[in-house]
Structure 1
Amino acid sequence: MEKVSALGLDVGKRRVGVAGCDGLGLIATGLTTIVRSSFVADVEQLKQLVQQREAKILVVGLPYCMNGDIGSQARQVQNYATRIGKALQLPIEYVDERLTSYQAEEELKAQKRFSTRNKGLIDRQAAAIILQQWLDMRRSNS
């Protein structure tokens, strides 16, 4: 079976939730949250994760509007992701991330790990959901 090495990103204005997957591409797990300070600093932190995990692709959650349109927030995410992909020389794939933050909060509540003060944990969990959706789609298409 082909090794899968992908990073999932939940891109926000203040933070980027990051998730990784096991080598078989079955399970996504939240790894860390990058607090955005500058583009260069973001790239450096992501570069370290890419090297550690030997990532070959970035899977980015795209926040479509509820009616399915691409709004201003989604365009900002696309712009940021394109720049990150070029800087890291990695391809980008997008996944519809509507309601992933809500889903992440619900999962954390069920695990008794939810806190409104820990936004980074929510971002990591949302990134894991985004990456898991991509892994599941990839498996069902093969």
Structure 2
Amino acid sequence: MVSDILLGFDFGTKSIGVAVGQKLTCTARALTTLKAKNGKPHWHQIAKLLKDWQPNYTVVGLPLNMDGTEQPLSKQVYTFANDLFTRFGITVKLQDERLSTIEARALLFKKGGYRALRKSKIDSQSAVIILQDWFEMNKFYINTSLIF
């Protein structure tokens, strides 16, 4: 049976936000934020998330400039996505993540003011936005099961 669960990642060099999503409802929620060192995650933590949630595949945010060109961080995201695939054999989809952090901050501020703006919350909320944007961009395919 194909899993209806997806994991979304907001990659950063110091932390990686993680969200879990459900393709049936096209919804996502914040899961956690993982620490990273110089862009290197603790792979055992990712392995545990993959084992616990057993997603069909993952969605990783790709940082782009407003004109659609790649940022310096984009290369590290490609490496992270490739490592996810080679280490765990899981399919990785990339999703444009422009403005996801700004949107995450605005949502968190609206819910809880300045106290809600902790870095870990912003990263995991950004992962939610990345995953929900992916659902929105692929709604036709999800509804017709063409990509699963």
Do these two structures clear the TM 0.5 threshold for a shared fold by scoring above it?
A: yes
For residues 14-59 of structure 1, give each alpha carbon's deviation from its aligned partner in whole angstroms, at most 9, with x where no partner exists. 00000001362421001000011484x6221111111111112110
Match of residue 105 from structure 2: 105
> Structure 1: where are the runs of 5+ without partners?
none
Map 1:35-114 to 2 at 5 A.
35-37=35-37, 39=40, 42-112=42-112, 114=114
SS in 2 for 1:35: strand
CA RMSD after TM alignment: 2.0
Q: In structure 2, how many angstroms separate the alpha carbons of the residues matched to 1:128 and 1:103?
A: 11
Runs of 4+ in 1 over 3 A off after TM superposition: 113-117
Q: Provide the residue aligned with 1:139 in structure 2.
A: 139
TM-score (structure 1 length as normaliser): 0.88
- SS of the counterpart of 1:109? helix
Matched residue pairs, number?
Answer: 140
DSSP 3-state at the match of 1:111: helix
Equivalent residue number for residue 19 of structure 2: 19
Does 2:5 correspond to 1:5? yes
Work out whether residues 85 and 92 of structure 2, in 8 Å CA contact, stay in contact via their aligned partners in 1.
yes
**Is the Cα–Cα contact under 8 Å of residues 33 and 120 in structure 1 kept in the other structure?**
yes
Q: 1:43/1:25 Cα in 2 relative to 1: closer, same or farther (>3 Å)?
A: farther
Q: Kindly, what percent of the aligned residue pairs are identical?
A: 29
Structure 1 residues 52 and 113, CA gap change in structure 2 (3 angstroms): farther
Give the partner amino acid of 1:43. W
**1:66 is matched by which residue type in structure 2?**
M
Alignment TM-score, normalising by the size of structure 2: 0.85
Partners of 1:30 and 1:91 lie apart in 2 by 21
CA distance in 2, matches of 1:131, 1:91: 15
